[in-house]
Amino acid sequence: MYFIFFVIIILLKVFKADFLIFLEAGGIKGLPHDDTLLYVQELKAYYKTPNGLVKAVDNVSFTVRRNEIFGIAGESGCGKSTLAMAILRLLKPPGFINGGKVLFKGKNLLKLSPKELREIRWKSLSYIPQSSMNALNPVLRIKDQFIDMFKEHGIKKEEKEYEEMIKELLINVGLAPEVMNMYPHELSGGMRQRTIIAMAIALRPELIIADEPTTALDVVIQRGIIQLLSEIRRKYNIAIILITHDMAVHAELADRIGIMYAGKIVEIGSTYEIFKKPLHPYTDALINSIPILGVKKTLKGIKGLPPDLKNPPPGCRFHPRCPMAMEICKLQEPPLISINNRKVACFLYR
Ligand SMILES: Nc1ncnc2c1ncn2[C@@H]1O[C@H](COP(=O)(O)OP(=O)(O)O)[C@@H](O)[C@H]1O
Ligand code: SF4
Ligand SMILES: [Mg+2]
């Protein structure tokens, strides 16, 4: 009897994080994958505006596994950046979180104190913001920006030791060590993006949220950043949430993709399956609107415009643009259901 009790205590100690995820997930129902690192559950993030509530993230659920690149795709304005900021609790007024959970290694980030959050940021969970070009402090040399971050996380070293650490990080992202003595305005767009990536990996986080890391860069520089993200994932075993509207970037980097439309996740699947056989008509339209290397096809735009998130269409939010729309689509919202290893929210799969 005592022995069984003892074994249970040991198991709880060893698997504490997974056990907490299990409990937070509501027991067996909804239990995420064994190697779940992040579990976003029914997250709602809205903006209060004079003309009404913008429901930018509306009941979004998904998991990110250790060491995977999870892509979030969707047209501009569908809520991707709001989702990133809500997960990181960086959403500023008029934005606010209106419910849900963000379980990172079993801890609900939405319930952490500011001090606990500061400890997790950069160290376990770091962020490459959409406007990363402006994310560096213009009046501080790159070296001093790294040192500030190290100090903030209790890493106290001699100047020379800091310099060695920064040098190694800069080399690892393909930059010359001399960059540490430069100011942000002396760097090109690609060099600044590499510097931000070096800062994001500096404290060896387990998850990086990268919001449009290749957007606004020219094609050759984009290629380098795609390769760099792929290398750092492999080298440091980091999971990445890769947010971009660019399906071609997802095709190259992501292991799985969540497709967002008008504040909702409408499909989740492996990148291979999503591109091979998209289930949701919106995913299909997204894929057909981009050129894919080696595949001959006629490119089709997506007809119509994304809805106003203050007043989205009833039922399925995609129905006014959907070539497959049925009567029920105007009346009821399709739930996100599982089909084998995939999830889809569409009445074509009842
Ligand atoms: N500060 C804000 N105030 C009001 N609405 C906002 C604000 N920021 C974003 N939104 C709205 O939230 C929706 C989602 O925006 P965003 O998350 O930036 O989308 P994405 O990153 O996919 O382009 C859009 O309709 C946008 O207009
Ligand atoms: S639920 Fe209906 S309108 Fe929505 S994507 Fe499916 S078929 Fe189209
Ligand atoms: Mg965005």
For the segment 98-132, what is each residue's pLDDT rounded down to a tens digit? 999 999 998 999 999 999 998 898 899 999 998 76
Identify the pLDDT of residue 319: 97
Is 32 in a helix, a strand, or coil?
A: coil
pLDDT at 314 over 70: yes
Beta bridge partners of 70: 241, 256
pLDDT at 24 over 50: no
Residue 72 placed within a domain: yes
How large is the average pLDDT for residues 83-89?
A: 96
pTM for this entry: 0.89
pLDDT at 244 over 60: yes
Please report, rounded to a whole number, the percentage of residues in the chain having pLDDT higher than 70: 88
For the chain, the straight-line distance linking the first and the last C-alpha, in angstroms and rounded, comes to 48
Q: Are strands 337-339 and 264-270 parallel, antiparallel or unpaired?
A: unpaired
Identify the pLDDT of residue 182: 97
Cα(340)–Cα(346) distance, integer angstroms: 15
The response to whether residue 86 sits with its C-beta less than 6 Å from ligand 1 reads no
The model's confidence at residue 324, banded by pLDDT at 50, 70 and 90, is very high
Q: In the structure, how many helices (H) and strands (E) does the chain have?
A: 12, 12
Q: Please report how the helices 159-172 and 142-152 are oriented relative to each other, as an axis angle in degrees rounded to 10.
A: 110
- Dihedral in degrees, nearest 10, Cα atoms 231, 232, 235, 236: -160
Q: 81: which 2 tokens?
A: 């950046």
pLDDT at 61 over 70: yes
Max mean pLDDT among 12-26, 211-225, 235-249 falls in 235-249
* Ligand 1 atom with least separation from CA of 76: 23
The model's confidence at residue 297, banded by pLDDT at 50, 70 and 90, is low
Residue 5 placed within a domain: no
Residue 202 placed within a domain: yes
Contact yes or no for 269/275 (Cβ under 8 A): no
Residue 80 placed within a domain: yes
Amino acid at 165: M
The response to whether residue 262 sits with its C-beta less than 6 Å from ligand 1 reads no
CA of 279 to the centre of ligand 1 (A): 26
Query: What residue's CA is closest to ligand 1, atom 4?
Result: 47
User: By residue range, what is the domain housing residue 151?
Assistant: 67-88+110-349
pLDDT at 212 over 90: yes
* Ligand 2 atom with least separation from CA of 324: 7
The domain tally of the chain equals 1
The model's confidence at residue 33, banded by pLDDT at 50, 70 and 90, is low
Higher pLDDT, residue 302 or 283: 283
Residue 172 placed within a domain: yes
Is 137 in a helix, a strand, or coil?
A: coil
Higher pLDDT, residue 16 or 241: 241
Residue 297 placed within a domain: yes
Identify the pLDDT of residue 26: 36
Look at residues 170, 179, 173, 167 and name the one whose alpha carbon lies nearest to residue 221: 173
Span 195-204, pLDDT tens digits: 999 999 999 9
Identify the pLDDT of residue 28: 33
pLDDT at 25 over 80: no
Residue 187 placed within a domain: yes
Cα(247)–Cα(263) distance, integer angstroms: 18
Q: 125: which 2 tokens?
A: 């969970």
CATH number, domain of 183, equals 3.40.50.300
* Ligand 1 atom with least separation from CA of 130: 21
Cα(189)–Cα(323) distance, integer angstroms: 40
Identify the pLDDT of residue 216: 81
Outline where the chain has alpha helix (H): 2-14, 16-24, 80-87, 114-120, 142-152, 159-172, 189-201, 219-236, 247-253, 271-276, 281-288, 327-331
Within its chain, how far is the Cα of 280 from the centroid? 21
Which mutation among 44, 46, 47, 72 tests ligand 1's pocket best, with the greatest number of atoms within 8 A of CB?
Answer: 47
Identify the pLDDT of residue 220: 87
Cα(231)–Cα(127) distance, integer angstroms: 17
Residue 182 placed within a domain: yes
CA of 217 to the centre of ligand 1 (A): 22
The model's confidence at residue 232, banded by pLDDT at 50, 70 and 90, is very high
Look at residues 266, 238, 264 and name the one whose alpha carbon lies nearest to residue 253: 238
